[in-house]
Structures are given as C-alpha cells and as structure tokens.
Amino acid sequence: MKPVIGLETHIELKTKSKMFCPCSADYFGKKPNTHTCPVCLGLPGALPVPNKTAIEWCVMLGMALNCDIPQFSKFDRKNYFYPDLPKGYQISQYAEPFCLKGSIKLDSGKTIGITRVHMEEDTGKLIHESIDGQDVTLIDFNRSGVPLVEIVTQPDFDNTKDVIDYLKKLQQIARYLDISNADMEKGDMRLEPNISLQKKGKTGLPNYKVEVKNINSFRFVEKSINYEIDRQTKILNEGKTPTQETRGWDENKQKTVTQRIKEESSDYRYFPEPDIPPVRWTELQITNYKLQIPELPDKKLHRFIKQYQLNDYDAEILTRETILADYFEETVTLGKKYGLTPKQIVNFIINRRVDPKNILPAKLIRRVISAGKTDEINDETLRKIIKKVLKENPKIAEDYKKGKTSVIQFAIGQAMYIIKKKIDTEFLKKLIIEELK
Amino acid sequence: MSLNTISIKQAREGLSKKKFSSEELVNACLFEIKKGKSLNAFITVCEKEALEKARLSDKKIKEEVDLPLLGIPISLKDIYLTKGIKTTAGSRILEDYIPQYSATVVKNLEDAGAIIVGKTNCDAWAHGSSGENSDYGHTKNPWNEEYVPGGSSSGSAVSVAANMALSSTGTDTGGSIRLPASFCNVVGLKPTYGRVSRYGIVAMASSLDSIGHFTKNVDDSALMLSITAGKDPNDATTPDNKVDAYENYLNKGVKNIKIGIPKEYFLEGLDKRIKEKIKNSIKLLETQGANIEYISLPHTQYAVACYYIIQPAEVSSNLARYDRIRYGNDRSFFGDEAKRRIMLGTYVLSSGYYDAYYKKAMRVRTLVKKDFDNAFKKVDVIITPVSPTLPWKIGEKTSDPLAMYLSDIYTVTANLAGIPGLSVPIGFIDNLPVGMQILGPHFSEGKLFQAGKACEYA
C-alpha cells in the first residue's frame, strides 16, 4: 500500500501590526489582552482594514513557490462559532486566493505541487485554568488577527523524508524572504498533514482522508505520519476503511487520537467579505514584487557550489541561513586581497563553528591567516588532550568554578606542551571553556 | 416660531448674531423631547451632557470660534457607537452596552461642534420598515400617533419632524432613511455606498449599509453631508474621491436637467394618490426648465427578492459576534425579526444552496446596477416614489413580514446599486406625509441636492 500525503501549513507573518488593525502583532509572551482594539476584539461597528505589507509578503511567498498570481483576488468570510473567534467568522480566502498552482522541488528530485497560498487571520487563544478550585477557560485576544499565510500542497508525498524536506525548505524560504521567523516552538509555523493509503494497483485518491491537526514540530509530523501509516494499514488489512476524521498527535501516548469525526465536510458558509474591496493587481505591481524577491536557497546553493568551487556539504551549511551566506561572501571578497581561497574560509567557518554575529569579517580574516601559520590538528585529538590536562590538573576546574578565569592560561600552556605544535590558541581556549562547562 | 422649529442654517445665523444661545436652543429641544414622550423617539436622552456642552458652545461662540455645527443640537440613531453613552442598536442584547469608542461620523459631527441630545429609537439591528421591531417599544408618527413613522431609523426621523433635534443621523440598508423621511415629512439622504464611513456603526448588511441623515430642508442635508463624507482610514470601503462642495449645487435650479421617470416604479401596487402627487411635482420641475424622459429599469421586479437574499446572508454573519462572551446579553435576547433573518441568511449561504440563492442574487444585483448605469447615460437624475403606500396603522403589517418587506420595493434598488437617493417631502394625503425619491449616479449627491431644492420651491 502506498501512502498518499498532503500538507497544510500555516505560517505566521512577522509584520509590525496585525492583519486588519493597527495593534502590534508581536504578541508572544505579552500580558494577555494588551494587544487589542475594537477590530480584533470584534466589538460592534468595528471594520477590518487589510495590512498591505502582509498581502505583499503572501504574494512574494507564492512567487517563491512558483505560483501564479491571479490579477483579481478577494477575501471571504469563513463562518463558524468558537470562543477564540471574536467576530464569529474568520476573514480568509476561499474562491480566489492570492496565489495558485505552484511547485517546489525536493532533494529527492521529486516535485511537489502547491495547490494554493492564501492569506487569513489568526484566532485568539483559550487558556484552561483552575482558579480558586474552579475550572475556567480564559481567552487571550493578543493573537487574534495576527496575519497567517496558509500553504496547501497537492497529495503528492508518499514518504515522511520528503515531507520533512519540504517543510524545512518552506521554513527556509520564509526566513530568506524575511517574512516570518518560522519558529516552530513559538507557533509561527503549524503543520497539518492529511494521510491516507492507496491500495496497490489502484489509481486516483483513496476514498477517505485522515487529517492530523496543529502539529508544532517536524519530529511530531514524522511520528504522526508513521503512526497513521501503521494504524491505517492494520485497518485496511482487516478489510475495513479508516474513518474520515481529524486527529491530534499525543506526544505522551506516542499516538494520534481522534478529535473530530467528519461525516461531511464542515459547512463554513463562505461568502465574499463585504468590508474589504477585492484586490486587483496591475502588471507593474506583480513585476515589482518579483524584483523584490531575494536569491532563494536553491539558487544560492548552486551558485555557491559553482562560483566558489565548494562541495555540496559546505555549500548547504553556508546557505541554510542568509546571515551566514552573506557573511561568507563578504569575508571571501575581503579575503581575496590576502590571497585566501573561499575553501580556506569555509573550512574555518565550519570547523571553528564561527558565529557571524560575534566576529566581523575583517577579524575573521586575521584569524584565518594566523591559523594558516599554525598546524592543523583535528578537534577530536584536541578534545582528548584537553580532557587529559583537566584530569591531571583537577585544580584547574576548581579554580575556574570559583571565577579564577586566569587559570585557563595555565591550561592552554599545559595543552600546548602536549601538542608540541603551533596551533590557534583562540580556538584552543574556546574548546577548554566548553570542556569546563 | 419656537426656537427648535428652525433649520440648522437659521440656527447658525441666530447663534452667531447672538439672537439666542445654544443653551436656549438645546433646552427647547429637550423640552420638546419631554413633551413628545409618547412618540417614543428616544432610547437615551443626554440632558446633562447636552446642556454642559451647550454652555461650552456659547462660550466658544462668544470667542468667535467658527465651526459649521457649533452649538447645534442633533440626535443619533442608537446604532451609532458613542464613547461612554449606552448604544443598544434597538436590541435588548446590548441593553447595557457602553462603547469604548465613537463612530467616525460621531467624531466628525462633534468636531464640527454638534451637540448630541440623545440616541434615537430604531428597529432592533435596523431590521424593519416601520419602527415596530424595536425592543424598546415602537415609535409613533408625529403627524398621527396611530400610524407608523417608517423604519428602521424611526426615532431619528421623528426627532427631526417633531423638532426634538435640528438634524439626526440614520442608516439606510434598504430604505431605512428614505422611508421614514417620507412618512414623517422630512428630508432624508442615503448617500452613495462608501461616501460616509461605516466605522463604529453597528453593521446590518455590510455591502448595503449607507450612512446618512435627516434634516428639515435640503440645504441642511448638504451641510451635514459636507461634514460626514470622505475617506476614513478605518473603513476600507470609503474611496479617495474628493468631497464635492455641495452648497454650490443648491441654487443652480433644474433648467435643462434631464430627469428620468422609470415606468417600472409606477405600476400596479402604487397608491394612485401618491402617483398623482409625484406627477404634479414632476410637472412643476418641468415648468422650471427640467426635461422629462420616460425610461425603463427592466430588472426592478427582481430587486426585492435579490435584496432579501443578500441582506439576510450578511446579517447572519454580522450578528454572529453577539455571543455574550465579551459583552452584551445572550442570544435568547434576539427578537423574532433578527432570528428570521439569521435563519434565512444561514440557509442561503449553506453549501448546496449557495449557488442557487446567494450567487444568483449577486448576479441579479449586477443587472440592477447595470440598469442604472445605462439609465444614467441618458438622464441626470431619476424620480420615483419612496413608498408604494402611505404610512400604515401601527400593528397593521406586523403579522405579515412579506407585506412589510414589499414596502421597500422602490428603495432597495439604490442599495443594491450603491447609488445615492434623496427623499424630499411633497405634501400630504389624508393628513399623512408623502415623499418623493430622487436617485442619481454614484457620488452625484450634489445633483440630488440641486433637484431636491427645486422641489422645495415647487
């Protein structure tokens, strides 16, 4: 049996203000209900005014995912009741989203179809607590109205490796575009795989679908998909069909559990949002957004390999985040004057785990040069030597704990005595401190 | 002549020439409100605040501060949010609701110096054509208390007609300003959709709601609009279009103006006496030099059906927020009419029915709009009746919602098309007032005032 997997991913944008009001969208860890106004509280008479930046970012994300950008687009109301939804409807996009029909290429060589990328608003947050012995539910509306982009794929995945690769790529693209921190732990990115199994020899989609809602870690996605594949295989092997339903991942039980059984698709009574005029793009606007899209991870990776003659491994590490990639390129440009090759620089950055925030390119070059005058010795050997020194001189650790940092100089001397080579003492010092901690 | 019977224009003159004070003017209105308590025009009267503000205005007048509405007492439909003043929307759901913010229009009027004497009664959530759907009791027609004043902006129309305020604000989703204006013998303006901000006004049907006002004459209507109209950054449906200098249109006359008379608005069902009255008014405009042209708006007959799909659909969504979680009373406090519209709206938006109802209605809406677009290629303005009947007796139609809905037959078209409409008084039949409707293209309020003013001379 072949797994058929599709993904819905919500990414929270890091715009200054919320999607439809001027409230700050930076809600994480803030005092409840301090980032609110008549609009995001759903007070009578309040009206939404769309955030232009959020819309532009949504379009740019769509473009980065090779989507078509229709000239006409509009918002719709998705009507449903839930206490965290103050208006009784969510402003979303149904029939005419900003981006349609895109694709993304995975490392496995497979291409995944992107059905749509659309704009919507986040809900408030329910907090279940016990106050004075009474179970209560509190609502924090700070998150209400924060801009969310939803990315929907075709059911093109058949294994978890591709799913995780896709999600990492999506996260990386969002960060490259600088539109979201895409921080899983803060809920910036929420994942919903839908999983079913296709019997051998059959074509088309299976006649059921199981959705796993609101997962906030790549690991849990992997686990929940694998769990579902096992669970559904068993059911199908018994000659039954798994129930069409929404499930959730329970990390404690290490399994998915039923949340809501869907007999039919829910009726959200979508209709065009009358408070927001439709969006009509001009050719010029679309061209302008295209020009604003920076070099994306895939392109950068290939350029690095070609331009700097790097191997795949080095280039991949360097292009994970733009900050490191930019830092590398700046250092290469500067390093040319001193006859340093890109390979020397990348080796130093990767082996010494250089943090671009802590050392300026010019200083890095000096260190690469001075390291070049020294002998190279691998980390493992160095660590063994340091461990030996610390074991033979327990007083070093004692003094260091007391705050006598000068004792490190002594440790460096001891280590150098054993190494008997000229090495980069700065790096040695860093490793000794790491060991002491 | 008692003070409160004058127009805004007269009041401004009197105030600036120190013939009387704002305090005296406000007191005269407050006296009238008390005297006319049986009309049930107000839900909240702001006596203390109004008098305080009047005294402050008198000080400013002395200092020769020049504001267009300085010291002028007005009333607001109780669907306009007023910071610190209870706002009920005519419903028990909001019986204790005190807003944290004021509507943009309320701010604009207050910035212009207006004094709020109170919040007027209306059909709950603006659902109704007679004023009888208010949870605070029905409003009565000041010309004959046995008759309805028209709705939903019932108390607003009555407050102006009965001299309790010099002007009042209303909302018009399907005729809720023009109908009560016609039934109460005052001037009622429904501006172009988006001309006046909806921010801070309890929404009925968002794509149809127009924010307008009642005045004693056309001059005052133009003045009010010059204060309320314009782009509001808080309402995405207000366009950048420049606000016209409306006062420039007032004394232009109607010479060579082309007036269209649509045959579909004068068919069976229209009270013959009303038809005659309108014919006479048209004749008088003709004698002033207007050219009359008979035209057709062929999709008129579908307008009410189309309106009663789109409007409840939006109502059902807009009323979803009144869930008692953050404010207000629970849903059991919704009245019959609100429940009726919530059910209708929910039904027409449901999957399986959406295409047959909502989608089709939106297509009809486009056709109604095209009718007007075509007509306005030939004529400057269109004249029609406001209501097919005279005001009816209180209770006469309450058991027959469909008959009630049909009273909107001549007014809903303007809301569907988003065009402006002005209701002007043209006299009385059986001692009950009759109004006439003037319609124009989008953002042509100036022309409506031009034609409306000519009717006053007629």
The whole-number pLDDT of residue B200 equals 98
Tell me which of A271, A273, A279 to substitute to probe the interface with B (most B C-beta atoms closer than 10 Å): A271
Q: Which amino acid is at B243?
A: V
Question: Are B94 and A49 inside 8 Å of each other by CB?
Answer: no
Has residue B458 got a pLDDT over 60?
no
Is residue A278 less than 8 Å (CB to CB) from chain B?
no
Is B176 catalytic? The answer is yes
* DSSP character string of B238-251: ----PPP-GGGGTT
Cα–Cα distance, A159 to A177 (Å, whole number)? 28
**Of A434, A271, A426, residue with least CA distance to A364:** A426
B251 touches chain A (CB under 8 A): no
Q: What is the CATH number of domain A379-436?
A: 1.10.10.410
CA A162 to chain CA centroid, nearest Å: 15
Q: Give the nearest chain A residue to B349 (CA atoms).
A: A269
| Residue of A48, A88, A276 with shortest CB distance to B323 | A88
Contact B354 A267 (CB under 8 A): no
Domain extent for B315: 3-457
Q: Reply yes or no on whether the pLDDT at B72 is more than 70.
A: yes
Whether B291 and B259 have beta carbons less than 8 Å apart is answered as: yes
Q: Would you call B259 helix, strand, or coil by DSSP?
A: strand
Q: How confident is the model at residue B4 (pLDDT cuts 50, 70, 90)?
A: confident
| pLDDT of A375 | 59
pLDDT at B435: 97
Rg over alpha carbons for chain B, rounded to the nearest Å, is: 21
List all residues of chain B from 68 to 87 with a beta carbon under 8 Å from chain A. Answer: 81, 87
Instruction: Please say whether the dihedral angle defined by the alpha carbons of residues A371, A376, A379 and A383, taken in this order, is positive or negative.
Output: negative
Q: Could you tell me if A70 and A95 are in contact, meaning their C-beta atoms sit under 8 angstroms apart?
A: no
pLDDT (0 to 100) of residue A416: 80
Residue pLDDT, tens place only, B195-230: 999 999 999 999 999 999 999 999 999 999 999 999
Nearest Cα residue in chain B from A22: B234
The shortest C-alpha distance from B217 to chain A (Å) reads 29
Q: What pLDDT is recorded for position A372?
A: 64
Does the distance separating the beta carbons of A48 and B97 come in below 8 Å? no
Using alpha carbons, select from A394, A390, A391 the residue that is nearest to residue A412: A390
Identify the weakest region by mean pLDDT among A179-193, A355-369, B3-17, B403-417: A355-369
What is the per-residue pLDDT for B324? 95
Tens of pLDDT, residues B166-182: 999 999 999 999 999 99
Reported as a single tens digit per residue, the pLDDT across B40-63 is 999 999 999 999 999 999 999 999
Band (pLDDT 50/70/90 cuts) for residue B96 is: very high
Q: Is B398 on the interface with A (CB under 8 A)?
A: no
- Calculate what percentage of chain B has a pLDDT beyond 70: 99
Position A265 scores a pLDDT of 58
Position B352 scores a pLDDT of 83
Task: State the Cα–Cα distance between residues A387 and A419, nearest whole angstrom.
Answer: 13
Amino acid code (one letter) for A62:
G
Q: How far apart are CA A141 and CA A138, in angstroms?
A: 10
Distance CA A116, CA A122 (A): 18
Kindly state the helix (H) or strand (E) to which residue A210 belongs, with its residue range: strand A210-212
Q: What is the pLDDT of residues B353-399, one digit of tens each?
A: 899 999 999 999 999 999 999 999 999 999 999 999 999 999 998 88
| Nearest residue on chain B to A83, alpha-carbon basis | B325
What value does the mean pLDDT take over residues B413-419?
A: 98
Q: Is the pLDDT of residue B160 over 90?
A: yes
If one counts the domains in chain B, the total is 1
Residues B247 and A158: their CA atoms lie apart, in Å, by 71
Which amino acid appears at position A361 of this protein? P
C-beta atoms of A47 and B236 within 8 A: yes
Residue A423, pLDDT score: 73
> Across all residues in chain B, what is the average pLDDT?
96
Per-residue pLDDT 10s for chain A (437 aa) are: 899 999 999 999 999 999 999 999 999 999 999 999 999 999 999 999 999 999 999 999 999 999 999 999 999 999 999 999 999 999 999 989 999 999 999 999 999 999 999 999 999 999 999 999 999 999 999 999 999 999 999 999 999 999 999 999 999 999 999 999 999 888 899 999 999 999 888 878 888 999 998 898 999 999 999 999 999 999 999 989 998 889 999 988 999 998 877 655 578 999 999 999 999 999 999 999 999 999 999 999 999 999 988 888 888 988 999 999 999 988 888 888 887 788 878 887 887 788 888 888 888 888 777 766 655 667 777 888 888 888 888 888 888 888 887 888 888 888 887 877 777 777 788 888 888 87
B258: pLDDT strictly greater than 90:
yes
Question: Where would I find the H helices in A337-374?
Answer: 342-351, 361-372
For A229-357, list the strands marked E by DSSP: 245-250, 255-261, 271-272, 279-280
- Residue A421's pLDDT is 72
What's the whole-model pTM score?
Answer: 0.90
Partner-chain contact B236 A275, CB within 8 Å: yes
Check CB contact under 8 Å for B233 and A49: yes
Q: Rounded to whole angstroms, how far apart are CA atoms B454 and B438? A: 12
Active site residue B206: no
In whole angstroms, give the CA distance from residue A189 to residue A194: 16
Give yes or no for residue B1 having a pLDDT over 70: no
Residues of B in contact with A271 (CB under 8 A): 313-314, 317, 349, 354, 358
Name the residue among B199, B237, B320 with its Cβ closest to that of A89: B320
Catalytic residue check, B129 = no
